[in-house]
Amino acid sequence: MPKVLISDKMDPKAAQIFRERGVEVDEITGKTPQELAAMIGEYDGLAIRSSTKVTKAILDAATNLKVVGRAGIGVDNVDIPAASAKGVVVMNTPFGNSITTAEHAVALMFALARQLPEADASTQAGKWEKNRFMGVELTSKTLGLIGAGNIGSIVADRARGLKMKVVAFDPFLTPERAVEMGVEKVTLDELLARADFITLHTPLTDSTRNILSAEALAKTKRGVRIINCARGGLIDEAALKDALDSGQVGGAALDVFVEEPAKASPLFGTPNFISTPHLGASTTEAQVNVAIQVAEQMADFLVSGGVTNALNMPSLSAEEAPKLKPYMALAEKLGSLVGQLATGALTGIAVEVEGAAATLNQKPVTGAVLAGLMRVHSDTVNMVNAPFLAKERGLDVREVRSSHEGDYHTLVRVTVATADGDRSVAGTLFGDQAPRLVELFGIKVEADLAGPMLYVVNDDAPGFIGRLGTLLGEAGVNIGTFHLGRRQAGGEAVLLLSVDEPVTAELLAKVKALAGVRTAMGLSF
């Protein structure tokens, strides 16, 4: 009989579901990492919320562990690469607390508009400062959504019910989906300039970290009010403190912080600042929902092998898996590549399989492409929910199958439609196992996509490679592999270099300053 440990406090219905489905369960909470490591070896599954940290050390000690289930969205407390290396499936429940989180954002918006916490403290202190607390109405104000996915769309619906105008910034939001939501799709700068209130509903990734930086806050309408119930790190907290002090920001409400538990934030004690201790998902209904969902998902996996909402494993039958897994590895890398390189809003994506790839089930390949593409902007996307998330954002997904062989016996091509035109990448499998890029935006270039990489588009001219190599050498950057291609002699050329360490902003600036460089970016796989 499979055995599961629930290591964080969870609704009792979770344990009940495990037992009803033939899974033995222990509820042991509050253990130190050392204590957890000592006991985890006897369990097949580990059910957690946010307190338990599933580190590499825990996973190394988990000799029988097959699945980790997170009752909630964020998996910052799980070392997913280490879990994948161990063959441990990591699941979450990405939609169980959406309404609760959205409602908390709306509650904080009301609290900011009417200065409710300060008014409450003043009144209970025996004061009657009616003239001090002059609030603002929400009606007719403009709400700016940074992130228009599941939670953001719920906030938009509630805000429209309050007669607010809603503008939204989201790379995956199509014009058609914006119309469905009743919001106006805008650029980030336009949102900052127009919004009276800003709410954030995006995960923390490299592209969203400090999305509200000092520079961004300076672009906002003076007196804007900001709410963050998504992830700490989306806002530069020191910059927000300065903006509150100067009056550039009229009020801010944070449910999440860079460091949690937040005990010494620079924002504490600042006038017009409201804080809550990560309560976004803290309602009875939400906790029941995520507890039930994680128990059902883990029990299905342990008893029958079903996979739902896995972050590191596709939904596959036992017969399909051996043939499809190399293709999905290739597809995910291609999706990640085009997601990192394509600029502007994406309106559509086409996944084409050619040759031997056309004989296989294309759905997992498409799911892997979408997971790689959308994981650039989201830390909760997976091969199972990626198609749903793409549909939710109105992203047009097309699948193309071509049985003829071209230059390669098997090929996967990913093309995204952007405002700047179509962008296409293609890859194949060497030896039917090793993923390899073979075409990048119309340029023939063969490359492995692994680890940190430097991407450079430059004018094809003598001496450039030497200058770039010298620059990297002087910067102490070691080159692992070097791949290049060009459209024609003296025209546009492209370089893909794998390097030992992530590409820094300082290094990018130096590369961009080289004569002939058109574009330079750091990539990660």
Mean pLDDT by groups of 10 residues along the chain of 525 residues: 95 96 96 96 95 94 94 88 83 89 97 96 94 94 96 96 97 91 96 98 88 97 97 95 97 95 92 95 91 94 83 65 85 93 84 92 88 79 72 87 85 90 92 91 91 93 93 93 88 92 93 93 92
Per residue in 70-94, is it b (16+ CB within 10 Å) or e — as a string?
bbbbbbbbbbbebbeeeebbbbbbb
* pLDDT computed for residue 421 by the predictor: 84
DSSP class of residue 425 equals: E
- Helix, strand, coil percentages in the chain from 3-state DSSP, rounded to 5: 35, 25, 40
User: What residue type is assigned to position 241 of the chain?
Assistant: K
Q: For the chain, how many residues are written?
A: 525
Q: Top-level CATH class of 98-275?
A: alpha beta
* 466 bridge partner residues: none
Residues marked as catalytic: 231, 260, 278
Q: Please state, in angstroms and as integers, the Cα–Cα distance from residue 235 to each residue in 86, 199, 207, 211, 256, following that order.
A: 34, 11, 12, 6, 10
Alpha-carbon gap, residue 160 to 183, rounded angstroms = 9
Residues in contact with 212: Cβ distance below 8 Å, sequence separation at least 6, in sequence order: 146, 198, 200, 226, 234, 235, 236, 239, 240
Alpha-carbon gap, residue 73 to 55, rounded angstroms = 18
93, 297 contact by CB (below 8 A): yes
Alpha-carbon gap, residue 75 to 181, rounded angstroms = 28
Is the backbone peptide bond immediately before 12 cis, with ω within 30 degrees of 0? no
Tokens representing residue 200 in the block: 């954030």
Q: How many CB atoms lie within 10 A of CB 109?
A: 26
The backbone torsions φ and ψ at residue 281, rounded to the nearest 5 degrees and listed phi first, read -105, 10
Pick the CATH number of 322-441 from 3.20.19.10, 3.30.1330.90, 1.20.140.10, 3.20.20.70: 3.30.1330.90
**Superfamily per CATH, domain 449-525:** ACT domain (3.30.70.260)
280, 98 contact by CB (below 8 A): no
* pLDDT computed for residue 97 by the predictor: 86
* 486 bridge partner residues: 493
Task: Please report, for the chain, the start and end positions of each structural domain, with discontinuous segments joined by +.
Answer: 3-95+285-309, 98-275, 322-441, 449-525
Q: Do 3-95+285-309 and 98-275 fold alike per CATH?
A: yes
148, 183 contact by CB (below 8 A): yes
* pLDDT computed for residue 346 by the predictor: 85
CA quadruple 68, 71, 75, 78: dihedral sign: negative
pTM over 0.85? The answer is no
Q: In this structure, which topology does domain 3-95+285-309 adopt according to CATH?
A: Rossmann fold (3.40.50)
Residue 367's nearest CA partner among 316, 300, 437, 304 is: 316
Alpha-carbon gap, residue 197 to 140, rounded angstroms = 11
